[in-house]
Amino acid sequence: MKAFGYVSAKDLEHAIALLGEHGARAKILAGGTDLLVELKHAVHNPEVIVDVSRLHELKTIAVADDGLHIGALVTHSDIMNSPVIRDMFPALVAAAHSIGAMQTRNLGTLGGNLVTCVPSMDSGPALIALDASVTVASTEGQRRMPLFELFVGPRKTSLKPGDLLVDIIIPKENLGKPAAFEKFGLRKGQALALVNVGASFWIDREKSVLVAPRIALGAVAPTVMRAPKAEAFLDGCKISAEVMAEAGRIAAMEAKPISDFRASADYRRDLVAVLVKRALANAQARATAKEKELVA
Amino acid sequence: MTDVTMIVNGQVRGASVPPETTLLQLLRDNFNLTGAKLGCDVGDCGACTVIVDGQAVNSCLMLAGQAEGRQILTIEGLASREWLHPIQTAFENSGALQCGFCGPGVLLSAKALLDENLNPSTQEIRDALSGNLCRCTGYTKMIEAVQDAARLLREESRTQLTHARTEATAP
């Protein structure tokens, strides 16, 4: 690695002051699983590394009035071990578990996964399917925006120099919304997604129809994308295996995959159809299981 | 330069290193602990695995400065000359290592797993070892060795419990 300065931030205030001071000359170090690789390959040549990995206030998982707040420094392992997330959002646990291997999940953070902004990120589709938003802090104060607006392109976010991602919020109205995450990689361990899918919906039990469906696709566009036509098709539909399969076919037409050394665009499109169908079916299975739990 | 102090294998160790030094370089070059290996240097192979505050991590992906004040366990801290750790005994008995380059990392990943779960399923063992690449063994004997180690450790903890109970009830 080329030489750089290193400063460890003591708390959030200190981190924001440091980032304000160094601006574009600084890179933020959280889990380091992507940043250190990039530094070794000289993708970036920052003058200073601002290490935020000791900010305890960014490591909490808590339900507040407006929803579930997950600190940006919560690691993938923390998500897998969190009783709150396991209970409310098993889809997020599945996404976290599919990332890297134990060693990288112990280091890598949710915030880091999002700001690295690779098209195949696994946290993105699961969170977009739940209408997550994010809090960003800088010397100008804190602001909240939909997670969707964070993603601009491959490895490109809307964050400006001096900005720090603070937390990720799943809104109150979606707490407990049935959701599922599906991923297809070339191996079980340490594989990037060829395609990954997050899906969620509420079920109107009286009419037995789907309400507010969300379908988010990863690795088939420059950033995580929604499948609005497939969502519109499903909204108000009677639940059946056929409508789920049809939503998959519609989503496959909406996806904009590329061919690369991992898979062809055609193959990725076929995967979208299958994974959307599976994600919807798994979300339904979860909804049913949850209901049985409540009855029992 | 960055000044760092940490507890490595139970001993306080300190050094002054350039900020771009990884924890792996610090361990190998400054502390002369060459058990953790430099393999891929990008967090894929797991040869550099060490345990930091109870969690298995890739030491090639941590800066030395991030380890300030933390507890580090390397393979050198697992056994003494006289005494092997049950995981090492199990690996030796099953012949689970061949060239051995991946060994320190594999053993520490296994330890991190068994510290949390003394009764892991085959799938859980595979999951815990998926960050450690081995080009010799094909993993089958490693998985058996981790199962054997789990049994040894369960027996050990049962014996300790019995001892504790005997002592507690002794007049």
Do both A77 and A127 map to the same domain? yes
Q: Which residue has the tokens 């590329």?
A: A258
Helix (H, G, I), strand (E, B) or coil at A259: coil
Q: What is the largest CA-CA distance in chain A?
A: 64
Q: Is the dihedral of CA B2, B8, B10, B15 positive or negative?
A: negative
Average pLDDT, chain A: 96
d(CA A153, CA A224) in angstroms, rounded, equals 9
Tell me, what's the pLDDT at A9? 98
d(CA B63, CA B21) in angstroms, rounded, equals 6
Do both A163 and A266 map to the same domain? no
Do both A194 and A269 map to the same domain? yes
- Mean pLDDT over A31-55 rounds to 94
Residues in chain B: 171
Structure tokens that stand for A95 in this block: 């996404």
| C-alpha separations of A209 from A245, A250, A293, B117 in Å | 16, 19, 21, 42
* Count of domains for chain A: 3
Convert the pLDDT of each residue in A113-167 to its tens digit: 999 999 999 999 999 999 999 999 999 999 999 999 999 999 999 999 999 999 9
For residues A4 and A48, the answer to whether their CB atoms sit within 8 Å is: yes
Closest chain A residue by Cα to residue B113: A102
Convert the pLDDT of each residue in A72-118 to its tens digit: 999 999 999 999 999 999 999 999 999 999 999 999 999 999 999 99
Counting DSSP H helices and E strands in chain A, the numbers are 11, 14
ipTM over 0.90: yes
CATH number at residue A71: 3.30.465.10
Show Cβ contacts of residue A14 under 8 Å, excluding neighbours closer than 6 positions: none
Select from A168, A142, A170 the least CA-distant residue to A12. Answer: A142
Do both A103 and A193 map to the same domain? no
- Mean pLDDT over A169-188 rounds to 95
Please determine, for residue B170, whether its predicted confidence score (pLDDT) is greater than 70.
no
Do both A60 and A170 map to the same domain? yes
Select from B94, B17, A194, A179 the least CA-distant residue to B27. Answer: B17
For residue B94, give how far its alpha carbon lies from the nearest alpha carbon of chain A (Å): 24
Structure tokens that stand for B118 in this block: 């003394």
For residue A60, give how far its alpha carbon lies from the nearest alpha carbon of chain B (Å): 18
- Mean pLDDT over B10-22 rounds to 98
For residues A75 and A31, the answer to whether their CB atoms sit within 8 Å is: yes
Q: Which residue has the tokens 């090492």?
A: B88
Domain ranges of chain B: 2-77, 86-169
Q: Which CATH superfamily hosts domain B2-77? A: Beta-grasp domain (3.10.20.30)
A156 and chain B in contact, CB less than 8 A:
no
Please determine, for residue B32, whether its predicted confidence score (pLDDT) is greater than 60.
yes
CATH number at residue A190: 3.30.390.50
For residues B49 and A103, the answer to whether their CB atoms sit within 8 Å is: yes
A116 and chain B in contact, CB less than 8 A:
no
Convert the pLDDT of each residue in B58-110 to its tens digit: 999 999 999 999 999 999 999 888 899 999 999 999 999 999 999 999 999 99
A6 and chain B in contact, CB less than 8 A:
yes
Do both A124 and A76 map to the same domain? yes
Report chain A's terminal Cα–Cα distance, integer Å.
58
Size of the A and B interface in Cβ pairs below 8 Å: 87
- In single-letter form, the type of residue at position A195 comes to V
CATH number at residue A14: 3.30.43.10
Q: pTM (2 decimals)?
A: 0.95
Do both A198 and A165 map to the same domain? no
The domain defined by B86-169 folds into DNA polymerase; domain 1 (1.10.150)
Helix (H, G, I), strand (E, B) or coil at A138: strand
Tell me, what's the pLDDT at A144? 98
Cα angle B13, B14, B18 (rounded to 5 degrees) comes to 140
Please determine, for residue A290, whether its predicted confidence score (pLDDT) is greater than 90.
no
Range of the domain at A37: 5-51
Convert the pLDDT of each residue in B42-53 to its tens digit: 999 999 999 999
Report chain B's terminal Cα–Cα distance, integer Å.
59
Judged by CB atoms within 8 Å, which residues 15-74 of B form the interface with A?
A: 18-20, 22, 41-44, 46, 49, 55-58, 60-63, 65-66, 68
Do both A62 and A167 map to the same domain? yes
d(CA A142, CA A12) in angstroms, rounded, equals 12
Please determine, for residue B159, whether its predicted confidence score (pLDDT) is greater than 60.
yes
Do both A211 and A168 map to the same domain? no
B109 and chain A in contact, CB less than 8 A:
yes
Do both A95 and A135 map to the same domain? yes
pLDDT-above-90 percentage for chain B:
88
For residues A134 and A165, the answer to whether their CB atoms sit within 8 Å is: yes
Convert the pLDDT of each residue in A182-233 to its tens digit: 999 998 888 999 999 999 999 998 989 999 999 999 999 999 999 999 999 9
Select from A87, A84, A63 the least CA-distant residue to A167. Answer: A63
Average pLDDT, chain B: 95
Closest chain B residue by Cα to residue A41: B42
d(CA A89, CA A73) in angstroms, rounded, equals 18
Other Cβ atoms within 10 Å of A185 Cβ, number: 19
Do both A184 and A280 map to the same domain? yes
Kindly state the DSSP code that residue A150 receives in the 8-state scheme. Answer: G
| Residue B167 pLDDT level (bands cut at 50, 70, 90) | low
- A29 contact residues in B (CB cutoff 8 A): 63, 66
Select from B61, B58, B29, B32 the least CA-distant residue to B46. Answer: B58
d(CA A133, CA A174) in angstroms, rounded, equals 12
Other Cβ atoms within 10 Å of A175 Cβ, number: 14
Tell me, what's the pLDDT at B168? 65
Please determine, for residue A242, whether its predicted confidence score (pLDDT) is greater than 60.
yes
Structure tokens that stand for A261 in this block: 């050394």
Tell me, what's the pLDDT at B67? 97
Helix (H) or strand (E) holding B11: strand B11-17
A49 and chain B in contact, CB less than 8 A:
yes
Tell me, what's the pLDDT at A293? 85
